[in-house]
Structure 1
Amino acid sequence: MGISRKASAHWEGDLKSGRGTLTTPASGLLDGTRYGFNSRFGDEKGTNPEELIAAAHAGCFTMALSAKLSEAGHPPESLDGSAEVDLSMEGGPSLSAIRLKMKARVPGLDAAKFREIAEDAKQNCPVSRALSAVPVTLEAELLG
């Protein structure tokens, strides 16, 4: 049996003027965290699904890269990853692109091998596989 994680959402009202909250009961990190139309499409404080997907993807990819580098005999000194998720409104709302960025310090590894391992991690982390319908690009930089 695999690992299961849970989050819940509560919403009141219509799409544009309604408000919701997100909760992650086990960790408590999201405990009634606000989200709504204006935090998704405007500047209102709160989170949104795309931001949460970006956080999940950045975290998953960074952990996968750490594992793959270590398996290859090159444990990283540091990894700084990020993800940007685009929401397109053409033809109805949909995720249209994800851009992963990585800056890494990995002693004893050349740039070509680093790029190969980073591409493998991008393709095979669980979040990338779950989001396989969305084009994902990677900008990976090996630092001194």
Structure 2
Amino acid sequence: MPTRTADAEWQGDLRQGKGTMRVGSGAFEGSYSFKSRMGDETVGTNPEELIGAAHAGCYSMALSNALANAGFTPTRVHTTARVHFNQVPSGFAINPIDLETDAVVPGIDEETFQKLAQDAKENCPVSKALAATPINLKATLIK
């Protein structure tokens, strides 16, 4: 399996500095700053947003795979990840991550869907990498 890369560069001090993050494939490059991470600045990204994108993408694929392995072909799986970045006594922490997914899956019943959705949350590689962080799941089957 390939090794994926990403890099980041920061210039200046924490509050006034600025940085750039990019993924190795070249598919994304974006700026980030103290304000885009700690405040309401909408120009630029932040590490938590990128973690959220990775988690939502990985979970959607994991759920699609779990459904297919159970004999169901999803028409659509859409996941939103809300990554909470909070101050804690020791500094800052990502805690929790809320995954909200909805899926169109012909022929599946609610109980089976919920079981597979939960299993995908536990077995998604990004969820496993973030095991120290509480991950909440709300899964909705669209009929």
Taking structure 2 as the reference length, the TM-score comes to 0.96
Aligned to 2:35: 38
Provide the rounded CA distance (Å) in 2 between the counterparts of 1:124 and 1:21: 31
Q: Residue 3 of structure 1: CA displacement?
A: 2.2
Secondary structure in structure 2 of the residue aligned to 1:69 = helix
Aligned to 2:101: 102
Determine if the alignment matches structure 1 residue 131 to structure 2 residue 130: yes
User: Which ranges of structure 1 fall in alignment gaps of 5 or more residues?
Assistant: none
Alignment of 1:1-144 (within 5 A): 2-26=1-25, 28-31=26-29, 33-44=30-41, 45-91=43-89, 92-144=91-143
Runs of 4+ with >2 A deviation: none
Secondary structure in structure 2 of the residue aligned to 1:76 = coil
Taking structure 1 as the reference length, the TM-score comes to 0.95
Provide the rounded CA distance (Å) in 2 between the counterparts of 1:102 and 1:21: 30
Provide the rounded CA distance (Å) in 2 between the counterparts of 1:131 and 1:104: 23
Root mean square deviation of aligned Cα: 0.9
Provide the rounded CA distance (Å) in 1 between the counterparts of 2:71 and 2:27: 34
Provide the rounded CA distance (Å) in 1 between the counterparts of 2:24 and 2:4: 9
Q: Residue 41 of structure 1: CA displacement?
A: 1.1
Do the aligned residues in 1 keep the contact of 2:4 with 2:24 (CA within 8 Å)?
no
Identity, % of aligned pairs? 48
Provide the rounded CA distance (Å) in 2 between the counterparts of 1:97 and 1:22: 23
User: Which ranges of structure 2 fall in alignment gaps of 5 or more residues?
Assistant: none
